[in-house]
A = this chain, B = another copy of it.
Amino acid sequence: MTQPTLHYWYEFASPYSYLSAVRIGDVAKERGVKVIWRPFLLGGIYKMLELPIPPMQLNPMKAEYMWLDCARQAKRHGIPLHKPDHFPQSAVLPARVALIGLKEGWGEAFSIRVYQANFVHNQLISDVDVISQILAEMGQKPEHVMARATTPENKQALMAETQEAFDKKIFGVPTFFAGDEIFWGDDRLELALETAVG
């Protein structure tokens, strides 16, 4: 019997994706579900949909509420959350690095650290020094990783992931796929896992 699998599509700019990134390891393990981490660029999808980035700026009251709700959910799960001074941040650099890391087995831990840089330590995740420091702390050689992350092939790979997200009708993050079934939002993670288990 094959192990149940969940695809976790995420974007480093998103605070709700951060909540899922921190939670998903344990809650998936409890249910025996394997998680495939799928970083992509949500901004690329907004561009294809001709939406402003982020679309929430159209509704400032909703944007204000988002942080309130996210803080409540973080508290409920015991997850630290600090509203970053810069929001939303460009995730191009860490997403390119994450793709390399996921191929080499350190992508999940790296992704969590990037989220913590953004939503706990108020750091700029588009900053090469910030990402390099994370890599060094993880025992990676930052310059070697950066060189591989910025090859034309890897840049193209991230664009292909974003195109696949669009083709799968992903419009926000986090999004989970259990087979062909789509679930949007950190608060649908448990339901997505139940569906994956079947």
Tell me if B59 and A49 are in contact (CB < 8 A).
yes
B169 touches A69 (CB 8 A): no
Question: Number of A interface residues, CB 8 Å?
Answer: 22
Q: How many copies does the complex hold?
A: 2
Stretch at the interface among A96-104, A143-151, A183-191: A183-191
* Nearest chain B CB to A189 CB, angstrom units: 12
Residue of B nearest to A72 (CB): B191
Contact residue among B59, B170, B172, B191 (Cβ-Cβ distance under 8 Å from A171) = B59
Question: Does A1 interact with chain B (Cβ within 8 Å)?
Answer: no
Interface string of A134-171 (1 = CB under 8 A from B): 00000000000000000000000000000000000111
- In contact, A59 and B68 (Cβ under 8 angstroms): no
Check if A53 is an interface residue, CB within 8 A of chain B: no
Q: Which of A65, A169, A187 has the most CB of B within 10 A?
A: A65
**What B residues does A55 contact at CB under 8 A?**
58-59
